[in-house]
Structure 1
Amino acid sequence: MQLLTLSLFSALFAGAFASETITGQWTCVDAGDYQLCQNLWGEDNGTGSQNATLVSADGDTISWSTTYTWSEGQYDVKSYSNVNQLDASGMTLGEITSAPTTWNWEYESISSDTVADVSYDIWIGTSASDPGTSTSTFEVMIWVSTEGGAGPLGSEIASDISVGGYSWNLYEGFNTYWQTVSFVTNQGNINDFSSDLKDYFNYLIDNYNMTNSMYLQSVEAGTEPFVGTATLLTNSYTVTVNT
């Protein structure tokens, strides 16, 4: 009976992960289908600290929080604490039939001077390689929140467009290797986001120079703080790429 009880307990909780807090510039922790990373890539542009906590992960659902305090460099992003879906890469956009995602999040606390966004960061390129490299052609961002006047790279190229069930302003900017296209909410914070990423790919294929032969390299979701103090809690997040 004891062995049976232990086996049942193990089966029930085989996919669950215990809470864990990470610190450090590049620290990551794997949790089921996801990887949670600190990613303090711009910390030299200011003064402060940050940590990320894996709250829980079970199957295709993950919960985490990010706590930060940043000052100086008001116009510089300090980090992108995020989760990466480990299976959402390697397929062409034409092979993707749907990519449903949900994201329920909230600020547990936020200072009045905080400048930050809450966003997806999706990498698309000419080969199925690592994101943010010379093979990356597009960085597609979906901003479900903007605080304190935070704005994306580049300039606005379209306004009040309807994609994936929401209204956006579209921005375009260029980096060394890739083009950054940002869908920025114009309807306030979207705390309970539910959409299909395939709709955003289709929009860019129909209206810009994205093609079905390009590869999905990564799907990430997190926050970019510029300055301020906040704790951002994701109650639940899911993303699945179907082919």
Structure 2
Amino acid sequence: MDARFLGIAELTETPSVAVVVDVMRAFTVAAWAFAQGAEKIVLAESLHEALALKARHPDWVALKDGPPAPGFDAVNSPALLRSVDLGGRTVVQKTTAGTVGALAVKEASLVLCAGFVVAEATARLLRTRECDSVTFVVTGEDGHAEEDLTCAQYIAKRATEAGTDPAEFLHRAAKSRAAAELATGVRQGAHPDDVALCLELDRFPFAMVATSEDPLMVLRPTAVPVGVVPGA
């Protein structure tokens, strides 16, 4: 598999297959939302669009980065979301990096959103689809977020090598600037357990596929068959 690792600003053409990585915290939060029963996640282009969607659909759950704000129901924290019952509901998510990255590749034939919590399922889906060329979008810090790059590299290796050891990758992510900022309270709308939850490898058995449902970009969990062996 030919893997490229690019920041959002480096996307000069639409890739065929894109894996958009935001470990801390957009797509860890998305995975937790599905685990808490959410049916789908609408990826909003702006805070204004998120609030407009919420206004049109009062039963939807609007979620954003940073501290709580009027009109929004939740913040971008996996630890704060894990006790929320989202059974059958739609979540509208707007974040600084993750949702931006997904919308930047919305024309790709396959768009996956990922973090460590769904790493194996994401790699397995890439194997199942026999993807020859994959662009990994490193969303954080203008493409330089160590936790996103590390997770992308791990998924790429896991897609082709059965014996990939995750320890080094998780260690690098744990030493990232984002992890330090979350741990020390620099980032608002955070919980002390967020870092540990973001680094919980393969917590969930599903991959997350984003598709255009005109005019929206919608993320859904996707079960992936077990048994496709790397290199087989």
Q: Give the TM-score range, shorter chain.
A: under 0.3
In proportion to residue count, which structure has more strand?
Answer: 1
